[in-house]
Amino acid sequence: MPDQNLTGKTEETLRVNRGAVEADPTKDTLYIACIERYNRTGNIGKAFVKGFGLKEGAFAESVAHDTHNILVTGTNIKDMTVAVNAVIEMGGGIAIANKGRILSEMRLPVGGLITDELDGHEVSEKIAELERIITRELGCKIHAPLMHLSFLALSTSPAWKITDKGLIDVNNFKILPPVIR
């Protein structure tokens, strides 16, 4: 839901290719994953998300309320992997990928949340630049896409959220399967 940390819930019919369910950017149905980043469990929660409107590419960040694992959404697994690996290599941060390469990134090495390299004005300018790239080059249709992504991990606010354990039905305290046959 734009400008809120609440989410709706929906089901979508998607194509299966060689046993894998595929995202469908033409229906605004993207991949989303939450990767545990503290080397404790190796968990990766996977699901699908609507509302970003990405036409191509992916973006990832280590700002993911409240656990600050790595969140990533995208139209394809390759760009998602490139973006996540960039966040890991930076020791935390934000990365945008398209066509197998990084378009832009910002290091957040202090807990994956804070930069020690930029002042407040520079951080604001960099976030604006990252969001312009996500909007203009990847086709995102919502403003503040980094903030929207970060709150999709806030598993205390309704209705469905993503954690490293998977898709969570917050209201019923259940882990949901990302695919129903």
- pLDDT tens-digit profile of 29-39? 999 999 999 88
Q: How many residues are present in the chain?
A: 181
- Judged against a pLDDT cut of 70, whether residue 51 lies above it is answered with yes
Distance CA 166, CA 170 (A): 12
CA 148-93-124 angle, to 5 degrees, is 65
Confidence grade of residue 1 (pLDDT, cut at 50, 70, 90): low
How high does pLDDT run on average in the chain?
A: 93
Question: What global pTM score does this model have?
Answer: 0.94
Residue scoring higher pLDDT (71 or 7): 71
For residue 178, what pLDDT is reported? Answer: 78
Helix (H, G, I), strand (E, B) or coil at 120: helix
pLDDT mean over 63-67: 90
Contact predicate 84/60, CB 8 Å: yes
Match 């990766």 to its residue by tokens: 44
Rounded to an integer, what is the distance from CA 30 to the centroid of its chain? 10
Question: Domain boundaries in the chain?
Answer: 16-176
Give which of 115, 88, 73, 82 is closest to 100, Cα–Cα. Answer: 82
Higher pLDDT, 57 or 179: 57
What proportion of the chain, given as a percentage, has pLDDT over 70? 98
CA distance 72 to 31: 8
Task: Taking residues 1-13, report their average pLDDT.
Answer: 78
Q: Over 90: is that where the pLDDT of 147 sits? A: yes
The answer to whether residue 3 scores a pLDDT higher than 80 is no
Task: Read off the pLDDT of each residue in 37-50 and give the average, rounded to a whole number.
Answer: 93
